[in-house]
Amino acid sequence: MTGPGTANDPITLEIMHNAIRSVTDEMFIALMKSAYSTNIKERHDHSATVLDIDGRLVAQAANSLPIHLASILGLVESLLAKYPVEDLRPGDIFVGNDPYAAGGTHLPDINMAMPVFADGKLNCFVCNIAHHADMGGMVAGSMAGGMSEIYQEGLRIPVVRLFDRGEPCGDIFDLILLNARVPDERRGDLYAQVAACRLGERRMGELAGTYSPDLLTDGFSAIIGRTEQRMRASFSKIPDGVYEFEDLLDDDGLGTTDIVMKLRLEVSGDRLTLDFDGSSPQVTGNINATLNATQSSVCYALKALLDPEVPNNHGVLNSMIILCPEDSLLHCSFPAATAARAHACQRIVDLIIGAIKDAVPDLAVGAANGANTTAVFSGIDPGTGERYVYLETLGGGFGGRATKDGTDGVQVHITNSANLPVEAIEMELPLLVEAYELVADSGGAGKYRGGMGMRRAIRPVGHTCTFSGHGERFRHRPWGIFGGKEGATGQFVVVDDGGARTDLESKPLGTEFTPSQQVVIETPGAGGYGPPAERAPEMLARDYRGGRFSTAYLKQHYRFDPKMGDNPQKGKKP
């Protein structure tokens, strides 16, 4: 039936869709406001969604992380495979994190799903996910190089009930908290997730009362179907054909280097197929990605490139075919380690951009920092005698574009988290931030320059601290396009008070340093767009005044001398 008040009525459907999205946004904010850890309350490393009873994504909060889509879909799929629908009850909340038993992508991401009932029948699921600063394992933060199997990375949680008809399952809470290095913080973050679930359940129940459960269910399918149609229509922006690209990851932290990633992308009308055959087999180190993480990265990239305003739901995934061989880097199998899967996921986006850049140059961008440069500091707070874990993934440069420069010091692509303020670190942790700045000369030269990487220097106060990290594009620079130059690589360095420097590997595991030392984290920049010779002289002068480029860099890449006040290459007098 078509008409006002039905799911086929476009006005009713749009109002309903916006109402559902507002529920996810409210859940997201509630989780952020309730959380204990800086990683969630300050960096917003969490997401909130609504899924239908078949486990299809209906809506995701606007500020959610694209990579989290994978874990949420996997959790509900695993839940439905394990528990018959008739065994689900009002007040139940399910939890899981394992990539192989609970549909997750790495263990620090704890996922929760709560069934929502209307008129006594299951109507949908409200879900959220949060990256916890530590989930046990062989290293604080559960994120570092040197881990070779999932068992080493932390506590593995299958899909289990955390709440049974509204009552907490204390044994499950005890098990999770016993394995966490900072259990009080974990407890606070877990209950923030519970609060967000209950808020979402209440709001979706209200919508079922407004629209009727059946109308709401019909609306879920209509929203997903409409999105698929719109996404398919966007494929026409890419001319029919076959496009290929190849890129390299630096290493896996355990001896495997120059790790190949390949893509063959075929476009035919409204059909699009992405084939990752030829990419590396899964590796020993923990940069492997599960298939659902690969799917999330592909969905993000095509949505961002072709139709950024298309709603983020299951229709995007339904619109394309993704082929990826099993036991590979991008479709890993148990017991592969996956803690740093985001490095591979970021590079998937670069593969897609690289493949289609010549076909749609106005949509392409230079390679971004291509990594989630992860830093984990841990130790005993000398003021309280309590253990602490500080985890952050730092942003870097975003690539130059067809009409403007890249962006400096930002999270890119499949992450959407914020940079952590200095005040938040120093108020809560026994750490001193001695530098927090952009890195000059790190953005690739071009008509439109690449974005700049960031530098953060941290010193422990009154105690010996342990640092672990995970970096990418520390060897292979972010590439530029159409004549644009490469961006700078990142690095981890320990500097002592005498000025001596010790360069660390890109994926260090458990390096100790003292109050007489600082750890310096530099993140990669990004590639430029177009020939440097075409950059306007006034933009170069502004770059110099703003400290983005040094005199030597300007002379080398642009033949521009800021002391002359102009660009001799343009044929103008100084």
Residue 361, preceding bond cis, omega within 30 degrees? no
Q: Is pLDDT at 7 greater than 90 in this prediction? A: no
At 383-399, the pLDDT tens digits run 999 999 999 999 999 99
Q: Is pLDDT at 323 greater than 60 in this prediction? A: yes
At 93-144, the pLDDT tens digits run 999 999 999 999 999 999 999 999 999 999 999 999 999 999 999 999 998 8
At 427-467, the pLDDT tens digits run 999 999 999 999 999 999 999 999 999 999 999 999 999 99
> How many helices (H) does the chain have, and how many strands (E)?
12, 20
Q: Is pLDDT at 568 greater than 60 in this prediction? A: no
Q: Which two structure tokens, joined as six digits, stand for 289?
A: 């990605």
Q: Which single residue is written with the structure tokens 């979706």?
A: 204
Q: Is pLDDT at 570 greater than 70 in this prediction? A: no
Structural domain boundaries in the chain: 10-230, 365-535
Least confident piece of the model among 127-136, 179-188, 414-423: 414-423
**CA separation for the pair 364, 356 (Å, rounded):** 8
**Binning pLDDT at 50, 70 and 90, where does residue 567 land?**
very low
Percent of the chain with pLDDT over 70: 97
Q: Is pLDDT at 232 greater than 50 in this prediction? A: yes
Helix (H) or strand (E) holding 258: strand 257-268
**CA separation for the pair 199, 24 (Å, rounded):** 10
- pLDDT of res. 4: 53
Radius of gyration for the chain, computed over Cα atoms and rounded to the nearest angstrom? 24
**pLDDT top residue among 415 and 2:** 415
**CA separation for the pair 566, 559 (Å, rounded):** 10
Burial 448-464 (b: 16+ CB within 10 A, else e): bbbbbbbbbbbbbeeee
Please report the DSSP string for 306-352 in residue order. H-TTS--SHHHHHTSEEE--TTBTTB--TT---TTHHHHHHHHHHHH
Q: Which two structure tokens, joined as six digits, stand for 536?
A: 């306007």
Q: Is pLDDT at 30 greater than 60 in this prediction? A: yes
- pLDDT of res. 519: 97
- pLDDT of res. 548: 94
**CA separation for the pair 116, 123 (Å, rounded):** 6
Q: Is pLDDT at 574 greater than 80 in this prediction? A: no
Closest CA to 373 of 329, 333, 409, 322: 409
- pLDDT of res. 396: 95
**CA separation for the pair 39, 59 (Å, rounded):** 23
Helices 170-178 + 183-211 axis angle, to 10: 140
Contacts of 311 (CB under 8 A, 6+ apart): 17, 21, 59, 223, 227
Contact (Cβ atoms closer than 8 angstroms) between residue 24 and residue 59: yes
Q: Which two structure tokens, joined as six digits, stand for 253?
A: 């932290």
At 249-297, the pLDDT tens digits run 999 999 999 999 999 999 999 999 999 999 999 999 999 999 999 999 9
Q: Which two structure tokens, joined as six digits, stand for 504?
A: 């660390």
Please report the DSSP string for 373-418 in residue order. EEEEEEEE-TTT--EEEEEEEE-B-----SSSPPPSSB--TT--PP
**Binning pLDDT at 50, 70 and 90, where does residue 565 land?**
low
Burial of 545 (0-12, 13-18, 19+ CB in 10 A): exposed
**pLDDT top residue among 423 and 70:** 423
Contact (Cβ atoms closer than 8 angstroms) between residue 277 and residue 262: yes
Mean pLDDT for 322-341 is 97
Q: Is pLDDT at 573 greater than 90 in this prediction? A: no
Mean pLDDT for 323-339 is 97
- pLDDT of res. 372: 79
- Average pLDDT, whole number, for the chain? 93
- pLDDT of res. 325: 97
- pLDDT of res. 229: 97
Q: Which single residue is written with the structure tokens 């850049």?
A: 357
Give the three-class secondary structure for 458: strand
Q: Which two structure tokens, joined as six digits, stand for 29?
A: 């904010």
Q: Which two structure tokens, joined as six digits, stand for 72?
A: 């949420």
